[in-house]
Chains A and B, each alone.
Chain A
Amino acid sequence: MDLGIFPRVVGAKKFESKKMNDRPLLDIRNLKTYFFLPEGVIKAVDNVSFHVGNREIVGLVGESGCGKSVTALSILGLIQSPPGQIVSGEILFQGQDLCKMSPEQLRKIRGNRIAMIFQEPMISLNPLYSIGDQIVEVYTEHYGLSRQEARKKAKEMLEKVQIPSPARRIYEYPHQLSGGMRQRAMIAMALACKPAMILADEPTTALDVTIQAQILELMVELQKLMGTSILLITHNLGAVAEYAKRVIVMYLGRVVEEAPVIPIFESPLHPYTVGLLNSIPKLGSKAIGGKKRLEEIPGMVPGLNDLPEGCYFHPRCSKGREICKRKEPKLFENQPGHRVACWAVREGW
């Protein structure tokens, strides 16, 4: 991809690991978001803590239904209520607790400081307005620019996300664009207000591999340029390995492991992370080592309304012992920056 206007960036993980300055951009502490349904309480996010530093890309991975999207929606204050509710915890964004803010304040932050890119751009783009108008609105609303100036800015923004012939596209409606183009338009809109943080919830899952690569490269390039932090939510472990600096692994509403990207992939500790990594076929491994059987994690993900006692993973875990069935393991720091919630690791059996 040749941007011209931007310096070429090779590989996103070559960040300097500079010491985090005292306060992370986003700091989530003991967040609990539950859904109160007639059948019972769904603990979609259960005591989750993690942080995202300035200019950092953090990957949040986990299987379907483990609470990734609910975490993101909690940050934005977009949990549907009822039945959902943030039961307890703090979401500190630039030092302010988002949980304590009024809906009005939250809306300001949402449009301005935190942007969101969803999997399906159609739900976040308004089908009744041209994409140009939607970006123009960001500029007139947040920067008080005149429509003329805003239009010029919008055109620049579309150029930045490499939408071809932006002068024409600016008048087109979301349904006239392809999936990849819509996602680009979405990114343009998200970046228009120069947010400090982007929550990208499966931004490329609905797209083809080649388009997926285009979009991810673009996001990372703009991230470098604009100094934004990204929380990259996905179940694509490859994308995380390639673009994230730190990784958080969730299982059934809890964080089970958190570490910088290299240890996560090279020396994962939690049996679930290990299982997950072993269960994906790796491109090219057959050429090297011949065909091997994939390792499976036995059983299946239990429903959130039918959770086991103790460690949620124990029924599927090969290392499980008595204590795992009774007591929930807490996250502990095994090595600097590498936290894991597992009795086996903790007790060293």
Chain B
Amino acid sequence: MSEELIFHGEHLLDVQRLKKFFPIKKGVFRRTVGWVQAVDGVSLHVDKGETLGLVGESGCGKSTTGKCILRLLEPTEGDILLEGKNISAINPSEMKQFRRKVQAVFQDPYSSLNPRMSVGNIVGEPFKVHDIHPSSDIRERVADLFKKVGLRPEYMSRYPHEFSGGQRQRIGIARSIALRPDLIIFDEPVSALDVSIQAQVINLLDDLKQEFKLSYLFIAHDLSVVEHVSDRIAVMYLGKIVEVAKDTELYSNPLHPYTRALLSAIPIPEPKQKKKRIILQGEVPSPINPPSGCRFHPRCSEAMKICKHEEPIMSAIDHHHQVSCFLYR
């Protein structure tokens, strides 16, 4: 993003060493017999006006990270700062402020809208909750939002099931921008949509970002989509971030062996272009008993002795590029 947009001194969102472990309970007494180490020491930041993409395979902890930031889950450890303010220790009125600043759109357009509420009420709900507009105005505001996201205001009194997946996603987006938030967290917002509808929604997100000067945290597993929408991309593997880089840099100069494998695994719609494919051995290990040392080492073709025993730390290759791998120490 251009320099003048960067928040002075501090980031809009700053996540520091975030951990979230889920207990595994067994038996009659529900004893805790182990932990799912879903997120294990994730640090990331989002600057004003920026889109940070977060990619990784299923179960690597992307949604859990998002939910911790949204305060839907209580982090096990770590700090989350919004405009420099730690949100783990805020009082209810500050919480309400926080809710106005950070919004979200989820993957499943079918389950993220209350089926018993008309879509007009769904989109108007934030106004009601935060008492922003007199109720006589709400309809008008909602109609505006509908137009913004490309829905016809006449549809306001319909119910979610009367809309297609793409339209429902638009409804969710309309709701998320209602309060003019600073940051929107998207958790796989287009994964459930048809190819031809995906493009419409992605373009809409781009337009809204421009118009409202929004910042996005864009979670997805589809690297092509993430690359398209993001300014920077963080690659996650088994609860940890392994590489962060500028969008084009990540593609042209991937450093972590996992990033390279991920990039090479994506089939591209260009039949003539030959791709050298790195096929990863085995599968993503379970976050219950993650491998020692570098979590990627059992599948890594370049694993060294040290990778087994020591955990690599994030090191900056240059201003725009950090990687957590012993190859670049």
In the complex, A touching B, CB below 8 Å? yes
Interface string of B209-232 (1 = CB under 8 A from A): 000000000000111110110000
Interface residues in A207-242 (C-beta closer than 8 Å to B): 208-214, 216-217, 235-242
Once the chains bind, are A280 and B224 in contact (CB under 8 Å)? Answer: yes
Contacts of B266 in A (CB 8 A): 209, 238, 283
The answer to the question of B206 belonging to the interface, with a C-beta cut-off of 8 Å to chain A, is yes
The answer to the question of A178 belonging to the interface, with a C-beta cut-off of 8 Å to chain B, is yes
The answer to the question of B58 belonging to the interface, with a C-beta cut-off of 8 Å to chain A, is yes
Contact A1 B269, CB 8 Å, known A63-B194, A281-B228, A283-B227: no
Once the chains bind, are A265 and B270 in contact (CB under 8 Å)? Answer: yes
The answer to the question of B88 belonging to the interface, with a C-beta cut-off of 8 Å to chain A, is no
Interface residues in B89-111 (C-beta closer than 8 Å to A): none
Once the chains bind, are B267 and A279 in contact (CB under 8 Å)? Answer: no
The answer to the question of B125 belonging to the interface, with a C-beta cut-off of 8 Å to chain A, is no
- Contact among B200, B222, B271, B280 with A210 in the assembled complex (CB-CB below 8 Å): B280
A19 to B260, CA, bound (A): 39
The answer to the question of A296 belonging to the interface, with a C-beta cut-off of 8 Å to chain B, is yes
- Contact among A178, A238, A264, A298 with B267 in the assembled complex (CB-CB below 8 Å): A238
Contacts of B225 in A (CB 8 A): 281
The answer to the question of A168 belonging to the interface, with a C-beta cut-off of 8 Å to chain B, is no
Interface string of B181-200 (1 = CB under 8 A from A): 00000000000001111111
Once the chains bind, are A283 and B198 in contact (CB under 8 Å)? Answer: no
Once the chains bind, are B262 and A284 in contact (CB under 8 Å)? Answer: no
Once the chains bind, are B223 and A209 in contact (CB under 8 Å)? Answer: yes
Once the chains bind, are B265 and A287 in contact (CB under 8 Å)? Answer: no
Q: Which residue of A lies closest to B252 (CB)?
A: A287
Q: Which residue of B lies closest to A234 (CB)?
A: B267
Contacts of B261 in A (CB 8 A): 210
For this complex, into which size category does the number of interface residues on chain A fall?
35 or more
Once the chains bind, are B228 and A212 in contact (CB under 8 Å)? Answer: no
The answer to the question of B57 belonging to the interface, with a C-beta cut-off of 8 Å to chain A, is yes
Contact A213 B271, CB 8 Å, known A286-B247, A294-B202, A301-B196: no
Chain A proximity of B201: nearest CB distance (Å): 9
Chain B proximity of A306: nearest CB distance (Å): 12
Q: Which residue of B lies closest to A242 (CB)?
A: B267
Once the chains bind, are B223 and A283 in contact (CB under 8 Å)? Answer: yes
Contacts of B197 in A (CB 8 A): 300-301
Contacts of A282 in B (CB 8 A): 224, 268-270
The answer to the question of A16 belonging to the interface, with a C-beta cut-off of 8 Å to chain B, is no
Once the chains bind, are A1 and B279 in contact (CB under 8 Å)? Answer: yes
A275 to B198, CA, bound (A): 12
The answer to the question of B284 belonging to the interface, with a C-beta cut-off of 8 Å to chain A, is yes
The answer to the question of A11 belonging to the interface, with a C-beta cut-off of 8 Å to chain B, is yes
Contact A236 B194, CB 8 Å, known A262-B272, A266-B272, A283-B227: no
The answer to the question of B86 belonging to the interface, with a C-beta cut-off of 8 Å to chain A, is no
Once the chains bind, are A208 and B284 in contact (CB under 8 Å)? Answer: yes
Once the chains bind, are A213 and B196 in contact (CB under 8 Å)? Answer: no
Chain A proximity of B60: nearest CB distance (Å): 9
Once the chains bind, are B223 and A214 in contact (CB under 8 Å)? Answer: no
The answer to the question of A195 belonging to the interface, with a C-beta cut-off of 8 Å to chain B, is no
Contacts of B281 in A (CB 8 A): 1
Q: Which residue of A lies closest to B268 (CB)?
A: A238
The answer to the question of A167 belonging to the interface, with a C-beta cut-off of 8 Å to chain B, is no
A293 to B206, CA, bound (A): 9
Q: Which residue of A lies closest to B265 (CB)?
A: A213
Once the chains bind, are B269 and A279 in contact (CB under 8 Å)? Answer: no
A243 to B283, CA, bound (A): 22
Once the chains bind, are B166 and A286 in contact (CB under 8 Å)? Answer: no
Chain A proximity of B7: nearest CB distance (Å): 22
The answer to the question of A145 belonging to the interface, with a C-beta cut-off of 8 Å to chain B, is no
Contacts of A264 in B (CB 8 A): 271
Chain B proximity of A176: nearest CB distance (Å): 13
Chain B proximity of A241: nearest CB distance (Å): 4
Once the chains bind, are A217 and B203 in contact (CB under 8 Å)? Answer: no
Contacts of B267 in A (CB 8 A): 213, 216, 236, 238-239, 241-243
Contacts of B196 in A (CB 8 A): 63, 275-276, 279, 296-297, 300-301
Once the chains bind, are A11 and B274 in contact (CB under 8 Å)? Answer: yes
Contacts of A209 in B (CB 8 A): 57, 221-223, 262, 265-266
The answer to the question of B167 belonging to the interface, with a C-beta cut-off of 8 Å to chain A, is yes
A282 to B247, CA, bound (A): 13
Once the chains bind, are A208 and B224 in contact (CB under 8 Å)? Answer: no
A281 to B225, CA, bound (A): 6
The answer to the question of B152 belonging to the interface, with a C-beta cut-off of 8 Å to chain A, is no
Contacts of B252 in A (CB 8 A): 284, 287
A36 to B57, CA, bound (A): 41
Chain A proximity of B85: nearest CB distance (Å): 32
Once the chains bind, are B269 and A208 in contact (CB under 8 Å)? Answer: no
Contacts of B282 in A (CB 8 A): 164
Q: Which residue of A lies closest to B229 (CB)?
A: A281
Interface string of B252-266 (1 = CB under 8 A from A): 100000000111111
Interface string of A178-209 (1 = CB under 8 A from B): 10110000000000000000000000000011
The answer to the question of B135 belonging to the interface, with a C-beta cut-off of 8 Å to chain A, is no
A214 to B264, CA, bound (A): 12
The answer to the question of A13 belonging to the interface, with a C-beta cut-off of 8 Å to chain B, is yes
The answer to the question of A295 belonging to the interface, with a C-beta cut-off of 8 Å to chain B, is yes
Q: Which residue of B lies closest to A280 (CB)?
A: B195
28 residue pairs A–B, Cβ–Cβ below 8 Å: A64-B194, A208-B57, A209-B223, A210-B57, A213-B280, A238-B266, A238-B268, A241-B268, A241-B271, A242-B271, A262-B271, A262-B272, A266-B271, A266-B272, A277-B269, A279-B195, A279-B196, A279-B198, A281-B228, A282-B269, A283-B268, A286-B247, A287-B248, A294-B203, A295-B199, A297-B199, A301-B196, A301-B197
Given A63-B195, A281-B228, 15 more A-B residue pairs with CB atoms under 8 Å apart are A1-B279, A13-B271, A64-B194, A208-B58, A208-B284, A213-B265, A213-B267, A214-B280, A243-B267, A265-B271, A276-B195, A279-B195, A280-B198, A284-B227, A297-B200
